[in-house]
Chain A
Amino acid sequence: MLSVTLAGLRAYVVRFLLTGTVIVLSIGFTAGTLVLTDSLDRAGRAEITASAAGTDLAAVPPDDGADYLPVSLLDRISALDGVEAAAGHRVVHARLVGGQGRVPDRSPVRVLATPRDAELAALPLTDGRAPAAAGEIVLDTRTAERQRVGVGDAYTVTGADGRQMEFSVVGLAEPSVNARDHPEVRATGGDVQRLAARPGIERVDLRLEAGAAPADVTAAVRELGGDPGHVVLTGAELRERLVESSTSVAKELRIPLLMLGAVALIVAAFVVANTFRILVAQRTRELALLRTVGATRRQVLSGVLVESTAVGAVASLVGVAVGVLAAIPVGAVVSDDARDVPTIVSTATVLWSVAVGVAVTVGSALLPARAATRVAPLAAVRSVPDGADGQRAGRVRIAAGLVAIAAGSAVMAAGALTAGMYGLGVVVLGAAVCFLGVLVLGPRVVPPMVRSLGRLLAGRSGSRRATTRLATANAVRNPRRAAATSAALLIGVTMVAGFVTVAESTRASAGMVLDQQVPADFLVRSDAETGVPASAVRAVDALPETGPSVRLYDGTVTAGGVGTVDLLGIDLDRFEAIARVNGEGSVDDVAAGAVAIDRVTAERSGLGVGDDVTVEADSGTRTFDVGYVVDEGSVPFEGLAVTPDVFQELLPSVDRPARVGFDTASDVDTERARAAVVEAVNGLPGVSVTTYTDTREQLSEQLDQTLLVVLSILGLAVVIAVIGIANTMSLSVHERAREIGLLRALGQTQRQTRAMLSIEALLLSGVAALLGAVIGVSFAWAAVLSVEDLVFVVPWAQVAGCGVVAGALGLLASVVPGRRAARTAPVVALATE
């Protein structure tokens, strides 16, 4: 039996290549993801372990205690017997101050305390030396290159309190695994404490003297006690803990990549199952012949089993190889080329990939083979395979499909109406069930759609009509095959349309939220908590390019019947002009000394327009009228709002506004105004300028990047689906050879034959594209509804574009089968079997 199987395998090698390609692509993606994340993980793990390689014991805060240990603990541990060296670890976030005192970059600088002990520090120096004294730092090589800073240059950052510290770069080191994209500065422990908002150390590493007993030292460190106390870990425990808590790229990528890989795999399963169904249908006679000469059903089935296992295993192994090869360059890009990423191909990766690949292939092959062996051998020998399928979709199938769609839609509706974090998850679940229903109903839904589309394409008369009608009839002659072929593409198009719609809705919603939150064209804000200095306000106010300004003060007070609330100081004469507001009451009253209160706080405390409210602040207690209840305003606030003058009286200590908004003067170009504002605040420390357009662009860019990654992965699923269409087409050209020969004999030109195949592919891909676009947008609608503050926007052009691309790819898929069909000699039709 094995020799027959192997012979069959050789004969069908070309057709198995198509199946194989699909498996290679999807398994390649899965294996590549596993290899990539394993490799990045290993690289990160190795580096983290190396960073604490010299640590024998470590003291860390207790799990339920405070974040930090007291700085004094370090000295007390250092003084213990048996301790060779001890080092305190601490990371604080600061902001970089650029050359002219402006903060050029909003991304925070990580400042790390560097142990004095070289072994505990394990500093991956590439140039210079470790920081030895206050004011000395080591900068990471990536930042050094980006910002063109070298050993000997100055580097200035501002800490939590807005104080600037100028450092001198004494060395360069590799960025740490947790650096992500932030600049990383390694300073002395003392300097790090000076930059910190709250003093303290995150952990103390210590190295034992030669001959000291770890147990004794552990006990001694424990005994130091104090408040809040600490936990002592061994070096190995510490390294394990560090690895687990690291926020490496690998960890974040793994799950989303594997999820998208699963989509590719599902599409592949559809394509493979369809291919095998066709292959087995075409081989029904061959299998039946085997049966008539004495092969048992079991033998025939095991033959198919061996065959599909062979195809699945070989294709999966090739897929793993492709995945590994693809992971190497991707790994280098993701890790920023800063360090060498070893390529880790674990046994688990290979086993999982091959197991999934073989399971998908064998599962897809066995079902149609079982059906084929049920046919009486002689009937099967006499049958002529022409691709028709007498089987109609059963009532059970229709009922199951409708129930799934109804249940899925209900779940989606429930999810869409549920505000809160579970809404989106419920919608996704409902969408999955609903989509399953569509797939189950496919054989009933796809053929009528193909026929309608075919009628649309056929036109009034002429030879094109004849060609289109032939193509339409061919496309739907086997409803299950038509449905399965378009299903693969349907999944891809649905996902793409859905993602694009959600992304555009997010973009549009973010734009609207920004419109509300940024009350002016520009916002000048302080990067420290000290507020915007008066000089900055004056400088910008004086510009001819800017219009009126609005000052925003932030503070906290205690109000009678309300409790501790935020107090917003805002120029109320500008309230309506810039800070569009809706509500009840009179803005004029607030401008004259009353308070405004937001609707939520008002209802919670039972306050309304005209009521009295007592406000207790640093300067004493005063009673105000409630002049206005704000339903909705451009400046969202929770609590009370007063004029800046009243604010100053209540909280004289907060003498600087946190933000100052400016409008562009009329008749001035926004770009020019922006340049002028930036120029005016240049040189003012800790002041940054945000423009409305900046923020929107940043957000847009992030969205575009995410979308690009997601779409390129989904693109793979679409490519697999298109290969599936090409697969189905070439198999059906093969089984319809006599029919095509007949058409050619009766006068179908080669061009018409190619056109017939193209239209057939176009109909299948077109239906998938149309249905996918509609379903994708509907799912996106439910998803958008479930997320508060999102408005639903359909990017018609993009959705249409995605449909057109899918249709065009379908056409492309028909090129090779079409050429083969056109080459069919008319004589083939006359061959008697």
Chain B
Amino acid sequence: MLVGMTTQTSTDAASPRWDAPRTAVRAVGLSKVYGSGDTAVHALDTVDIAFEAERFTAIMGPSGSGKSTLMHCLAGLDAVTDGQVLLGDTDLTGLGDTALTRTRRDRLGFVFQSFNLLPTLDAEANMLLPLKLAGRQADQEWFDEVVDVLDLRARLSHRPAELSGGQQQRVAVGRALLNRPDVVFADEPTGNLDTRVGSEVLSFLRMSVRELGRTVVMVTHDPSAAAYADRVVLLADGRLAGEITEPTADTVIDGLRQLGA
């Protein structure tokens, strides 16, 4: 029933570059319960999972499988009911709101499905926002590199309303990369884009892992999007339901079909 429970071998097989895979973020016995008593819903049920640094991991699963909840908990956007979330050596579940907010600001990056940008700020200000909130200056070289990689040079002074959907998502990716985060979380980043523009954004995400050395964790329901990842984690009913390394759209569809079976 379960497919590809071969975490150890897949890591070895993934790429010869990684001699000793470092864990970027890890969930230990993570549970998330909405409501209480009879109406309690177990969105996550004692999930143990680790995400290696400098890799692109996709989280997949059917609707209601808990994939978004898992990402929210990993990113410190939502409180957990039980268990731990370790970002490097930091236990996010033990942090207060301000410390958690600072952690998001300084160590994490986000790309959401829609409404990624503040309508009142231009593209450059949107990209610099987390740094500005921290009262820090951007590293100009890094900024230039990210802008050039994302091909946003000509769009820097445009407001979100003046940008296409793909451009908006590229700005969001740029923002997520600028503070050199430990992990970039992407929640259905291509959900609102057509296939061509979507694959462009996914390429950028993969490039940021391969060429810029970032760690990306992406939630998606689209097998072809998941195929851009190095590894796909499958979730069902709030539990880990297997994983696929070096996925292709076909292996992912297969895996999903077996989940539904």
> Residues of A at under 8 Å CB distance from B?
384, 386, 388, 461-467, 469-470, 473-474, 477, 738-739, 742-752, 825-827, 829-830, 832
Contacts and interface: CB of A to CB of B under 8 A. Distances in A.
Given A466-B132, A470-B120, A746-B130, A738 B101 contact: no
Contact of B133 (A738, A752, A829): A752
Nearest to B135: A463
A750 B100 CA distance: 11
Contacts of A744: 101
A474 B120 contact: yes
A463 B135 CA distance: 4
Contacts of B104: 745-747, 826
Contacts of A384: 115
B162 to A, nearest CB: 13
A466 B77 contact: no
Q: Which of the listed residues A464, A467, A832 has the most CB atoms from chain B within 10 Å of its own CB?
A: A832
B185 to A, nearest CB: 9
A477 B160 CA distance: 14
B187 A463 contact: no
A527 to B, nearest CB: 73
Given A477-B120, A745-B104, A465 B132 contact: yes
Given A466-B135, A827-B72, A830-B187, A742 B118 contact: yes
B118 A750 contact: no
A750 B101 CA distance: 8
Nearest to B107: A747
A752 B135 CA distance: 12
Given A474-B120, A746-B110, A750-B97, 11 more contacts: A388-B119, A470-B121, A743-B133, A746-B104, A747-B133, A747-B134, A749-B101, A752-B133, A830-B72, A832-B113, A832-B114
14 contacts: A463-B134, A463-B135, A465-B135, A739-B115, A742-B115, A744-B101, A746-B130, A748-B133, A750-B97, A829-B112, A830-B68, A830-B187, A832-B113, A832-B188
B97 A739 contact: no
Contacts of A463: 132-135
| Contact count band on B | 20 to 34
Interface SS of A by simple majority: helix
B106 interface: yes
Contacts of B129: 466, 743, 746
Contact of A749 (B75, B98, B110, B125): B98
B102 interface: yes
A830 B186 CA distance: 11
A465 B131 CA distance: 12
Contacts of B101: 744, 747-750
Q: Which of the listed residues A739, A747, A751 has the most CB atoms from chain B within 10 Å of its own CB?
A: A747
B239 interface: no
A313 B49 CA distance: 60
B72 A746 contact: no
Contacts of B120: 470, 473-474, 477
A470 B118 contact: yes
B11 interface: no
A462 B114 CA distance: 29
Contacts of B77: 745, 825-827, 830
Nearest to B115: A738
A757 B101 CA distance: 18
Nearest to B76: A826
A748 B115 CA distance: 16
Interface string B70-93: 001001011000000000000000
B112 A742 contact: yes
B102 A749 contact: yes
Contacts of B112: 742, 745, 829-830
A461 B132 CA distance: 9
A386 B77 CA distance: 22
Contacts of B116: 742
A15 B71 CA distance: 34
A457 to B, nearest CB: 15
B170 interface: no
A437 to B, nearest CB: 29
Contacts of A470: 118, 120-121
Contacts of A473: 118, 120-121
Contact of A743 (B75, B102, B114, B118): B118
Nearest to B98: A749
Nearest to A739: B118
A386 B133 contact: no
Contacts of B55: none
Q: Which 5 A-B pairs have the closest CB atoms?
A: A747-B105, A463-B135, A473-B120, A466-B132, A462-B135
B115 A477 contact: no
A744 B114 CA distance: 16
Contacts of A832: 113-114, 188, 191
A357 B68 CA distance: 49
Contacts of B118: 470, 473, 739, 742-743
B115 A829 contact: yes
B127 to A, nearest CB: 11
A464 B132 CA distance: 9
Contacts of B191: 832
A145 B134 CA distance: 71
Nearest to A747: B105
Nearest to B113: A832
A477 B175 CA distance: 23
Q: Which of the listed residues B112, B120, B130, B188 has the most CB atoms from chain A within 10 Å of its own CB?
A: B120
B130 A747 contact: yes
Contacts of B130: 746-747
B76 to A, nearest CB: 8
B130 to A, nearest CB: 5
Nearest to B134: A463
A825 B76 CA distance: 11
Contacts of A467: 133
A832 B221 CA distance: 14
